[in-house]
Amino acid sequence: MTVHDHFRAGRLAISFELFPPKTLAGEVKLYEQVNQLVSVAPDFITCTYGAGGSSQAKTLDIVTQVKARYGLPVASHLTVVGRSVDELRDYLRQAAERGIDYIVALRGDPPQGAGRFVPASGGLQYANELVTLIRREFPQFGVFVAGYPETHREAPSPQADLENLKRKVDAGADAVITQLFYNNDDYFRFCERCRAVGIHSPIVPGILPITNGQQIHRLTSLCGARLPKHLARRLAERDDPDWQLAVGIEWAVQQTRELIDAQVPGLHFYVLNQSLATLRIVQETEIVALRGD
C-alpha cells in the first residue's frame, strides 16, 4: 500500500492522529480508544512526535504496536527540533526496521519558552530539508507534510508560505495534511491557491472536533487557527462540558459533510486520544458507507 493508493480518485481516505500518552494509565486508555477507532477501518493511523513535550521514543513504540496489533498502515510524525541529521537518520533507520509505512515530515515548534526556532547543531532548518533527506536515503517511506489554510504563524506572507509548501512537495512529499481549521472556505481557498502555484498533490483537511471549550481557545491560539465568532458564541452559551462537546460535534459534522460533498481526497481527524467525538462524526456523516472501496 502506498500513500497514492489511499487517495486514488473516487475514494475518501480516513486517517486518525494520536499522541503518545505520558503515563501507563494513559497508554491503556489509548489502546481502548484505538480498539474503537479501528472498527471504522481507517486507512492509516498517525502518531505525533514531541508535540507539547511528549516523549519521542514513545511515538515509535505506539506506531509499531498499532501496526502489529491491527495490521494497519501507520505514520510516525518526525520533527527536526533538537536533532542532528545523524539523529534523524537513526530515527528513520529504526522506523524502517520496524516496518513503519509513512513519515509526517515536520520542522516542529520551538521548545516552550524559546521565542523562535533555532536549528540544532548539525541539524536541519526547514521541513523541506527533512523531506529531501527521507527521499534520498529512505525511499521506502511515503511522506506527508503540513499545510496551513490560514498561513503558518511565522510566514512573512501567505504567498511565502505557499512557496514553502511547494518546496516540500517538490522535494518529494506525497500528500499534504492541513492544520486544523473551522471555516471550510479557508480550506477551499487554500486548495485553489495551491493549485495556482502548481501543487497538485492530495491536500487532506485536518479536523479537530471540539471536545472542550477552554482547551480549544488554547489550541487555536497556539496554532494560529481562527474560531469563527458564531462557533465561539455557541460554545460560551453554557459553562457545561456536555454542551460544549455537543456543539463541537455538531460543528464538525457540518464541516465534514460539506468537505465530503466537495469531494476532498480524505479526512484526517485529530483524535487527540478522545475517540468518542471522532466516532460520532464518522457515524453521523456515514463516511464508512461513502468511501468507495
Ligand X SMILES: Cc1cc2nc3c(=O)[nH]c(=O)nc-3n(C[C@H](O)[C@H](O)[C@H](O)COP(=O)(O)OP(=O)(O)OC[C@H]3O[C@@H](n4cnc5c(N)ncnc54)[C@H](O)[C@@H]3O)c2cc1C
Site residues for ligand X, 31-50, by CB under 6 A, read 48-50
Q: Report strand pairing: 203-207 vs 266-270.
A: parallel
Contact string (CB under 6 A) for ligand X, positions 156-175, x = contact: ----xx--x---x-------
CB of 202 to ligand X, least distance (A): 13
Out of 89, 98, 135, 152, name the contact with ligand X by CB under 6 A: 152
Among 27, 61, 87, 109, interactor with ligand X by CB under 6 A: 109
Which residue of 31, 70, 126, 188 would you call a contact of ligand X, by CB under 6 A?
A: 126
Indicate the residue type of 167.
R
CA pair distance 216, 248, nearest whole angstrom: 10
Q: Does 132 bind ligand X (CB under 6 A)?
A: no
In the complex, minimum distance from the CB of residue 183 to ligand X, in angstroms, rounded to a whole number? 16
Residues 56, 64, 132, 179: which binds ligand X (CB under 6 A)?
179
Residue 17 is a catalytic residue: yes
Distances (CA, A) of 128 to 47, 105, 112, 124, 156: 20, 8, 23, 9, 17
CA distance 64 to 206: 23
Tell me: does residue 79 bind ligand X (CB under 6 A). yes
- Residue 137 makes CB contacts below 8 A (sequence gap 6+) with 89, 92
Region at 179 (left for phi over 0; alpha for psi -120 to 50; beta for the rest): beta
Residue 141 engages ligand X in binding (rule: CB under 6 A): no
For CA atoms 175, 185, 259, 15, give the dihedral sign: positive
Residue 206 interacting with ligand X (CB under 6 A):
yes
Q: Does 209 bind ligand X (CB under 6 A)?
A: no
CA distance 217 to 244: 12
List interacting residues with ligand X (CB under 6 A): 48-51, 77, 79, 104, 106-109, 126-128, 146, 152, 154-155, 160-161, 164, 168, 177, 179, 206
Q: Which residues are catalytic?
A: 17
